[in-house]
Amino acid sequence: MQDATDTPDILQEPRLWSDGRWTARVIKNEDDDGWAVAMTLQGESEPALVGPWTMGRDKKNPKPLDVSAFNTLVKTASEVIRRHEQQLHAQLNKNVTITTVQGQRLRVALAIVPDEEGATATLSAHDDLGEELARVPVPPSFKLTPASAAAWVDAGFERPR
């Protein structure tokens, strides 16, 4: 027998749907007379997506949620989160490719690890085969550019100041 706490809370009300992971809530749009829908991921305090919602036939109340609309909203909200994660990853992980004076192509990467106590960052260099040649800690404020990467390589991979 399955414990009641193992099953997700499934709700299917006209203005509130949940599959235990996502919750769609139809809310009054504060900016006008219309309605909006907020999609919130389980455990999050803020919605991942808030968008306009269709009026019902009476032109006063919102159209009730249904399985098709809920599934579309889940897909859209999941995509918003995925794009946000990709953007954050791109902000924290940068790389440039340079060619040394000896003609060797190197990929220099900056990886920033955010932390409430204080972010850390690492600068690394890799050859064409992906083998790591060097790795040093740098301040999270380090600006990785082709010029700063070349200067680091030219300095013998010494920790930038």
Render each residue's pLDDT in the chain as its tens digit; 161 residues.
Answer: 444 455 557 889 999 999 999 999 999 987 777 899 999 999 999 999 999 999 988 988 999 999 999 999 999 999 999 999 999 999 899 999 999 988 999 999 999 998 888 899 999 999 999 999 999 999 999 999 999 999 999 999 999 87
Q: Cβ atoms within 10 A of the Cβ of 160, count? A: 15
Q: Cβ atoms within 10 A of the Cβ of 152, count? A: 23
- Alpha-carbon torsion, ordered 38, 42, 43, 49, to 10 deg: -30
Q: Are 23 and 16 in contact (CB under 8 A)?
A: yes
